[in-house]
Amino acid sequence: MSSRGKTGTLTRRQLLSGAALGGVSLTIGCRLGRSSAWEFLSDEQARTLAALCDQVVPADDFPSASQAGVLDYIDRQLARVYRRHRAAYSDGLVRLDTLSRTRFGRGIAALSVDLQFQAVTAFAEQDKSFFELVRNHTLEGYYGSPRHGGNRDAVSWRMLGLAEPPIRGRAPYDLTKGSTS
């Protein structure tokens, strides 16, 4: 038996048993280790970010940013296209919480909406570039395409009076007439 054949067998064996172990450990491990419902954010970061986003787009008769899924948008992008902004978020959210604790004695997520507004107003002054980043990402999520997780059910477009999906009849090319039917 050549060593080559043995390697091949082992590889397959490793693969299968690895998969089996994976299956079992996933069932157990995932349940124990489920620290966050998010891809990148921790639950605590998500609560802080939600408070910030909901000041950028607050609820009125239409949903707030987080109600429309903007956190999903930001979280998914931080795991993908916006990987380059991860450090900014990790650090910036700590600074926001510090500001909130220093001035109001509690993390921003635990403040009343009025105090959250005051905290974010102060934060927007103090931490311009991070605030701008979150502000832009929030508005992208809220007013962008629903497929990215924000603007759930195209709610912001309906708020603006835009039909989504729009009602548009097809425009076929009628070969028998050389024109539309």
Stretch that binds another protein, among 22-30, 91-99, 101-109 (CB under 8 A): 22-30
Rg of the chain taking only CA atoms, in angstroms: 24
Q: Is 56 in the site for another protein (CB under 8 A)?
A: yes
Q: Is 92 in the site for another protein (CB under 8 A)?
A: no
Stretch that binds another protein, among 90-98, 101-109, 144-152 (CB under 8 A): 144-152
Candidates 138, 139, 155; CA nearest to 62 is: 155
Q: Is 113 in the site for another protein (CB under 8 A)?
A: no
Of positions 109, 115, 133, 154, contacts another protein by CB under 8 A = 154
Stretch that binds another protein, among 85-93, 97-105, 173-181 (CB under 8 A): 173-181
Most distant pair of Cα atoms in the chain: their distance: 76
Q: Is 86 in the site for another protein (CB under 8 A)?
A: no
Q: For residues 175 and 89, give the distance between their C-alpha atoms in angstroms, rounded to a whole number.
A: 56
Half-sphere exposure of 78 (CA within 13 A, CB side): 24
Q: Is 168 in the site for another protein (CB under 8 A)?
A: yes
Closer Cβ to another protein, 15 or 94, answer by number:
15
**Helix and strand element counts for the chain (H, E):** 7, 0
Q: From residue 30, how far is each of 16, 19, 33, 35 by CA, in Å?
A: 20, 15, 5, 9
Of positions 11, 76, 88, 90, contacts another protein by CB under 8 A = 76
Whether 106 contacts 100, CB under 8 Å: yes
Nearby residues of 82 by Cβ (< 8 Å), 6 or more positions away = 74, 137
153: its two tokens: 């059910």
Q: Is 3 in the site for another protein (CB under 8 A)?
A: no
Q: Is 34 in the site for another protein (CB under 8 A)?
A: yes
CB of 102 to another protein, least distance (A): 22
Q: Is 105 in the site for another protein (CB under 8 A)?
A: no
Q: Is 174 in the site for another protein (CB under 8 A)?
A: yes
Q: Is 161 in the site for another protein (CB under 8 A)?
A: yes
